[in-house]
Structure 1
Amino acid sequence: VALVFLPLFVLGSVEGRLLRPLAFAYVVALAASLVVALTVTPVLCSWLLPNSRVIAAGAEPSFTRRLKAGYELSLGRAFRYRRTVIAMAAALLVAAVVGVLTAGRSFLPEFNEGALTVSAVTIPGTSLEDSNALGNGLERLLLSVPEVTSTARRTGRAELDEHVQGVESAEIDVRLAMKNRSREAVLEELREKVSLMPGTNVTIGQPISHRIDHMLSGTRANIAVKIFGDDLQVLRQLAAQVQAEMGQVPGVVDLSTEAQADIPTLKVRVDPGAAARQGLETGAVAEALQTARVGHTVGQVLEGQIAFPLVVRYAIDESRDLESVGTTQIQTPDGRQIPLSAVATIQRDRGPNFVMRENVQRRIVVQCNVSGRDLRSVVNDIQARIAPNVTMPQGYHVEYGGQFESEAQASQQLLWLSLGVVIAIFFILSSAFGSSRDGLLIMLNLPLALIGGVAGVYLAGGVLSVASIVGFITLFGIATRNGIMLVSHIRHLQEEEGVADFTTAVVRGSTERLVPILMTALAAGLALVPIALSAGEPGSEIQAPMAMVIMFGLLSSTALNMVVVPILYERFGRPVSERPTRTSI
């Protein structure tokens, strides 16, 4: 059971930091319960069980007797119609596999944080006053929605901030108080209202989700389509085509392209010949201009516990005209001062307000959020529209990032790691029971648990997320324990109690293990009911899908384990008398 959680300890990135504490808590709790079972429980049994009225009467409670009698009768009928039972179980398993393959995919379940983060970006170069006016107008639109109780806005971020933004960018924290409408209806109205803002790209997210998106792809949205190439004009044209195609995909909301604009610039082109005649290199001229206009950090000044950078620069001159820049003094190696215009030509030009790079390549991003659909299907539809309709010139290519990329990586990593863990569990069971057949029959509980787990996924919304996969991992550990309890007792009846008839041992062992297995499943399932019922509440977004998978997986695993496994064990298992004798050296 503890081994199945090994993949969670290997997960990296955001999903690892979110799910690793759950795995650690479960393994520690399992280890503590093992210690209690081996130490405290025997002592309590020696004190309390001798005085038990049930044991003194020498008979089981009437409910238990009726339950076992009914189960034994049902098991006898299942043995007579074993082919039908196996066929029905196989059909359910095929349906579960189809359900997994067709289920929607998402990185993490959608959070319900009770608050929103509205990001707005207007035309680059917009003044602080105009940006502030747009922000005030946007806040008024937001506050016109009844569920919005308050807003708080940040316009731009300082240059020393970890998340630098120009004054054309604003973030608004929105507090909600849900009333009679659903959260989806409120978001739809908010998106309709903010779409009235001219020349502004608005993205609506949530505080934690917004930061997760930013960590995963560097953008403020669930999906980031990144276009790489050399020419900015070509990148902008391709981005416009990609945005038009994405706009045709159902479920795409908050669609926007990185705000870029051409702004006035001064282009300084150093003449290598003129610079050489003055004893200067091109790099020295560029460094001197950098020091003159921006400054050069040469050290730090301590004032108490605070260190301030010491910057050397020419006298402050904020003018950007040709004459001012051309008269910038450059010192030659022999100590003379010459104007910049003597070794360089200066001309007016227009250039991008910023150039984004990733892996040393220029790129532009088209981003969007998803509403009303799962993340994977939306990305598949976007790829299906972009591939045939947007032709990438030579040297240009598209990459897809965001939660989609993280979901694919995490799912693939969990799949391979879980496969390795399943193989390891099989070898452990085979070694413990001395039979690979017994190990395989115990492992049959995994597909049986899959049937109910898939039903739990669809009852929780039909979206398979990393949280649901963790639920399956937990479920497989519990289901394996049920199989161990059943097979080990059948073996005990043959080896220790001398039950010679193999079919009798299987039926008796299954009947006697019925109550312990049911109690184990009920204890785990009932403990998960409050978590499953809290679906949609803030703070339960990750635990609720896990609980649904485990609950319904336990239901199918327990029911089928008590019918299918005995049938297959009676058919393919080997009596103790036919097993090879194990000798020790």
Structure 2
Amino acid sequence: MPIYTGSGQRIVLGDVAKISITDGPPMLRSENSRLAGYVYIDIRGRDLQSAVLDMQRVVAEQVELPAGYSISWSGQFEYLERATAKLKLVVPFTLLIIFVLLYMTFKVVDEALLIMATLPFALVGGAWLLWLLEFNLSVAGAVGFIALAGVAAEFGVIMLLYLNQSWASRVKRGLIGEDDLLDAIREGAVLRVRPKAMTVLTILAGLIPIMWGTGTGSEVMQRIAAPMVGGMVSAPLLSMFVIPAVFLLIRRGQTRNPA
């Protein structure tokens, strides 16, 4: 390639420069006044957080960065970190609100603690379904578990209210023997079978189409719905069998068998 100087002399580009073709970035980018390069990674078959943590460990062990260089992890992982930090505040605050509302409803600590203590067991069904569907726990799954905890608490509250009403009606009539307590528990629990079955069927009817959906955003919605669908097996069984049994243990001290 000929080049003409200002004085009219003709020189060849090869006399003043060396030309070569190499691979490099298509454009120069900078962030915070520093040159930046991006490496895009698609992850399949693993959850995002554990994959990034493994990559960070490998990079820390095997890559020695020169002076002035740094690595930052962005994209979906950055959003996940922000959401996880928020959930660490939202989940305890939500549980505290649930406990306060339970205490305001029952006016006694033991019954409020009963509902709170049974919530983890009600979430077992959701965890099982996530495992069966091979869904990794994500922010969407955590949202589904929070919703399931609310439904499980509602199941327990209504069951406990029916049991208390049934037992209170017998106490007013002077029926305070242990057999009377058992009859009250049977009556209160049986009254909840039909409405609980209707509630479960209604929830499943609304969530199963989401589980089968294939449209835009269906993957996120499926991970929100999966804990709810699985929990509709464990939560009703817990409220129908475990809560009445624990109620019997709590109220047994108030019974008085006839002489």
When the two structures are superposed, what TM-score results if normalisation uses the length of structure 1? 0.36
SS in structure 2 of the partner of residue 400 of structure 1: coil
- 1:417 match: 90
Q: Distance in 1 between matches of 2:53 and 2:232?
A: 33
Change (3 A) 1:390 1:539: closer
SS in structure 1 of the partner of residue 176 of structure 2: coil
Change (3 A) 1:395 1:538: closer
Q: Is the 8 A contact 1:437 1:573 kept in 2?
A: no
Q: Distance in 2 between matches of 1:538 and 1:416?
A: 30
Q: Does 1:490 align with 2:163?
A: yes
Q: Does 1:474 align with 2:167?
A: no
Q: Does 1:374 align with 2:47?
A: yes
Change (3 A) 1:375 1:353: closer
Amino-acid identity (%): 31
Once the two structures are superposed, residues 295-322 of structure 1 have per-residue CA deviations (whole angstroms, 9 ceiling, x without a partner) of xxxxxxxxxxxxxxxxxxxxxxxxxx98
- 2:242 match: 564
Q: Distance in 2 between matches of 1:427 and 1:514?
A: 27
Please report how far the alpha carbon of residue 425 of structure 1 lies from its aligned counterpart in structure 2 after TM superposition.
Answer: 1.1
- 2:196 match: 517
Q: Which of the numbers 66, 77, 100 marks the counterpart of 1:427? A: 100
When the two structures are superposed, what TM-score results if normalisation uses the length of structure 2? 0.77
The structure with more strand, counted as a fraction of residues: 1
Which runs of structure 2 are paired with 1:544-555 in the superposition (5 Å)?
544-555=222-233
- 2:14 match: none
Q: Distance in 1 between matches of 2:248 and 2:242?
A: 10
Once the two structures are superposed, residues 317-350 of structure 1 have per-residue CA deviations (whole angstroms, 9 ceiling, x without a partner) of xxxx986xxxxxxxxxxxxxxxxxxxxxxxx9x9
- 1:388 match: 61
Once the two structures are superposed, residues 545-573 of structure 1 have per-residue CA deviations (whole angstroms, 9 ceiling, x without a partner) of 22221111121111122122222222245
Q: Distance in 1 between matches of 2:230 and 2:51?
A: 28
Q: CA RMSD in A?
A: 3.0
The amino acid of 2:83's aligned partner reads A
The amino acid of 2:188's aligned partner reads G
Please report how far the alpha carbon of residue 355 of structure 1 lies from its aligned counterpart in structure 2 after TM superposition.
Answer: 4.1
Q: Is the 8 A contact 1:410 1:466 kept in 2?
A: yes
Q: Distance in 2 between matches of 1:488 and 1:367?
A: 55
Aligned pair count? 233
Q: Does 1:402 align with 2:81?
A: no
Once the two structures are superposed, residues 496-537 of structure 1 have per-residue CA deviations (whole angstroms, 9 ceiling, x without a partner) of 443524444333322322222222122212332222223x44
Q: Distance in 1 between matches of 2:65 and 2:254?
A: 68
Please report how far the alpha carbon of residue 405 of structure 1 lies from its aligned counterpart in structure 2 after TM superposition.
Answer: 1.8
Q: Is the 8 A contact 2:170 2:184 kept in 1?
A: no
Q: Is the 8 A contact 1:443 1:483 kept in 2?
A: no
The amino acid of 1:500's aligned partner reads I
Please report how far the alpha carbon of residue 395 of structure 1 lies from its aligned counterpart in structure 2 after TM superposition.
Answer: 4.1
- 2:11 match: none
The amino acid of 1:460's aligned partner reads L
Which runs of structure 2 are paired with 1:141-160 in the superposition (5 Å)?
none
Q: Distance in 2 between matches of 1:405 and 1:459?
A: 28
The amino acid of 1:528's aligned partner reads L
- 1:500 match: 176
Change (3 A) 1:443 1:518: farther
Q: Distance in 2 between matches of 1:527 and 1:574?
A: 40
The amino acid of 1:507's aligned partner reads R
Q: Is the 8 A contact 2:135 2:223 kept in 1?
A: no
- 1:540 match: 218
Change (3 A) 1:486 1:362: same
Please report how far the alpha carbon of residue 368 of structure 1 lies from its aligned counterpart in structure 2 after TM superposition.
Answer: 1.5
- 2:36 match: 363
Once the two structures are superposed, residues 420-450 of structure 1 have per-residue CA deviations (whole angstroms, 9 ceiling, x without a partner) of 0111110111122111111111223421221
Higher-Rg structure is: 1
Which runs of structure 2 are paired with 1:251-262 in the superposition (5 Å)?
none
Q: Distance in 2 between matches of 1:322 and 1:464?
A: 67
Change (3 A) 1:353 1:459: closer
Q: Is the 8 A contact 1:446 1:479 kept in 2?
A: yes
Which runs of structure 2 are paired with 1:152-551 in the superposition (5 Å)?
355-498=28-171, 500-501=176-177, 502-534=181-213, 536-551=214-229
The amino acid of 1:378's aligned partner reads A
Please report how far the alpha carbon of residue 403 of structure 1 lies from its aligned counterpart in structure 2 after TM superposition.
Answer: 0.6
The structure with more helix, counted as a fraction of residues: 2
SS in structure 2 of the partner of residue 365 of structure 1: coil
Q: Distance in 2 between matches of 1:555 and 1:453?
A: 9
Q: Distance in 1 between matches of 2:225 and 2:133?
A: 10
Once the two structures are superposed, residues 63-120 of structure 1 have per-residue CA deviations (whole angstroms, 9 ceiling, x without a partner) of xxxxxxxxxxxxxxxxxxxxxxxxxxxxxxxxxxxxxxxxxxxxxxxxxxxxxxxxxx
The amino acid of 2:218's aligned partner reads S
Q: Is the 8 A contact 1:442 1:480 kept in 2?
A: yes
Please report how far the alpha carbon of residue 495 of structure 1 lies from its aligned counterpart in structure 2 after TM superposition.
Answer: 2.5
Q: Is the 8 A contact 1:495 1:576 kept in 2?
A: no
Structure 1 unmatched runs, 5+: 1-320, 324-347, 578-585
